[in-house]
């Protein structure tokens, strides 16, 4: 590392969610936010000036000039592979946005090249760090739900893409990751999908089997609206109780089986940090940088992105064949 007290971090990407990367790194006293790389001068220069850092329009030029300790990549969803591989082959530890890529062979190439160089390689499944999700994880770990019997994930909003399975791959990857994070490995998938709105298979329903014997469902859509209340809902039902997470950061509820009383968490009046979705990324970065400094594996390794992609392709296979697909 360039300095034990401050990590030198560069960002590749000057788009919408890239602003969240820039916001976090620029605000941290333990980070030297050294550069932003973008595709156009019109967007990249103002963004770099806004966050008090240098700008580049070429990845290799930035790496040669800055020599960062860690590189963060936030690029258009289908544009991840080439720049990510460039950073890996240059030998730099990295954090990437979801989805990892859209192609399993590309995912394997990235993971293999990073493993050859023993690189720290993380992915930003930041939904894990919402307070309601952390509370759900704690309740499950402590056995308060007993054995999980079923789990339901629903997440629908607006979206368009020229890829027929964009919603499944780039958005419902959060659903796959979340369900496995909380309930364990998914062992089978049966899928229904529709292209009714002419935007590819933009709405889908999956029936899931878990290795534990539990079952689940996943409903995802780009034909809905993020403006709707409860656009996201997660329910996990066990033999001893149930948890519900509403809109990722809005509310957590636990209720024991047979009890008419439950317990609820929602952010208090002054608790802006936990009620704001964007701040789930801040929490992930806290843990990620701590692990990086300690020489540990990432809290959410890039392999989790490959796993979500493999589950997506199992769902596609199920839809195309009309059969349930088993997953190793």
What single string gives the DSSP state of each residue in 6-28?
A: SEEEEEE--STTHHHHHHHHHH-
Q: 41-82 pLDDT, tens per residue?
A: 999 999 999 999 999 999 999 999 999 999 999 999 999 999
Which helix (H) or strand (E) is 94 found in, with range? strand 94-96
DSSP secondary structure code for residue 269 in this structure: T
**Residue 183, exposed/middle/buried by CB under 10 A (0-12, 13-18, 19+)?**
buried
Q: 283-300 pLDDT, tens per residue?
A: 999 999 999 999 999 999
Residues in the chain: 328
Q: Which CATH number fits the domain 7-124, given the four candidates 3.20.20.70, 3.30.70.360, 3.40.190.10, 3.40.50.720?
A: 3.40.50.720
pLDDT of residue 5: 82
Using an 8 Å Cβ cutoff, are 83 and 12 in contact?
yes
Question: Which pair of structure tokens corresponds to residue 137?
Answer: 């994880």
The CA angle 65-68-71, to the nearest 5 degrees, is 115
pLDDT above 60 (res 255): yes
Confidence of residue 4 (pLDDT cuts 50, 70, 90): low
Q: 210-223 pLDDT, tens per residue?
A: 999 999 999 999 99
Residues 105-127 as b or e (16 or more Cβ within 10 Å = b) = ebbebbbeebeeeebbbbbbbbb
Beta strands 251-256 and 121-123, pairing class = unpaired
Q: Mean pLDDT throughout 252-261? A: 98
The mean pLDDT of the chain is: 97
pTM score, whole prediction: 0.96
Kindly give the residue spans of alpha helices, DSSP state H, lying in 166-259.
166, 173-183
Q: Mean pLDDT throughout 95-122? A: 98
Kindly give the residue spans of alpha helices, DSSP state H, lying in the chain.
18-27, 41-50, 59-66, 81-89, 104-116, 131-141, 166, 173-183, 272-275, 279-294, 303-321
DSSP secondary structure code for residue 298 in this structure: P
CATH 3.30.360.10 in the chain is located at 127-279+309-326
Question: Which pair of structure tokens corresponds to residue 9?
Answer: 């971090």
pLDDT above 80 (res 192): yes
CATH 3.30.360.10 fits 127-279+309-326, yes or no: yes
CATH 3.40.50.720 in the chain is located at 7-124
């Amino acid at each position: 590392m360039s300095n034990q007290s401050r990590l030198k971090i560069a960002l590749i990407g000057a788009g919408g969610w890239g602003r969240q990367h820039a916001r976090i790194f620029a605000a941290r006293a333990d980070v030297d936010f050294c550069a932003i790389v973008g595709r156009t001068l019109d967007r990249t220069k103002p963004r770099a000036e806004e966050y008090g850092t240098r700008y580049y329009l070429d990845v290799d030029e930035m790496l040669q000039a800055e020599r960062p300790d860690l590189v963060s990549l936030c690029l258009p969803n289908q544009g991840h592979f080439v720049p990510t591989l460039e950073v890996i082959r240059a030998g730099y530890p990295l954090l990437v946005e979801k989805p990892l890529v859209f192609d399993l062979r590309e995912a394997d190439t990235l993971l293999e090249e990073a493993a050859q160089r023993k690189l720290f390689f993380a992915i930003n499944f930041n939904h894990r760090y919402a307070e309601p999700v952390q509370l759900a994880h704690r309740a499950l770990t402590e056995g308060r739900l007993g054995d999980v019997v079923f789990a339901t994930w629903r997440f629908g909003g607006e979206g368009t893409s020229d890829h027929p399975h964009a919603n499944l791959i780039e958005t419902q990857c959060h659903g796959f990751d979340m369900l496995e994070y909380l309930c364990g490995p998914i062992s089978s998938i049966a899928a229904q999908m529709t292209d009714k709105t002419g935007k590819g298979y933009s709405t889908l329903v999956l029936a899931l089997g878990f290795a534990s014997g539990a079952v689940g469902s996943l409903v995802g859509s780009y034909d809905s609206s993020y403006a709707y209340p409860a656009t996201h809902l997660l329910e996990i039902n066990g033999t001893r109780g149930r948890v519900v997470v509403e809109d990722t950061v809005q509310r957590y509820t636990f209720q024991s089986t047979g009890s008419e009383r439950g317990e609820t968490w929602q952010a208090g009046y002054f608790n802006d940090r936990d009620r704001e979705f964007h701040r789930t990324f801040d929490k992930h970065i806290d843990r990620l940088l701590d692990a990086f400094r300690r020489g540990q594996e990432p809290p959410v390794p890039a392999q989790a992105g490959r796993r979500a992609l493999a589950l997506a392709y199992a769902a596609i296979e199920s839809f195309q064949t009309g059969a349930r697909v088993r997953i190793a």
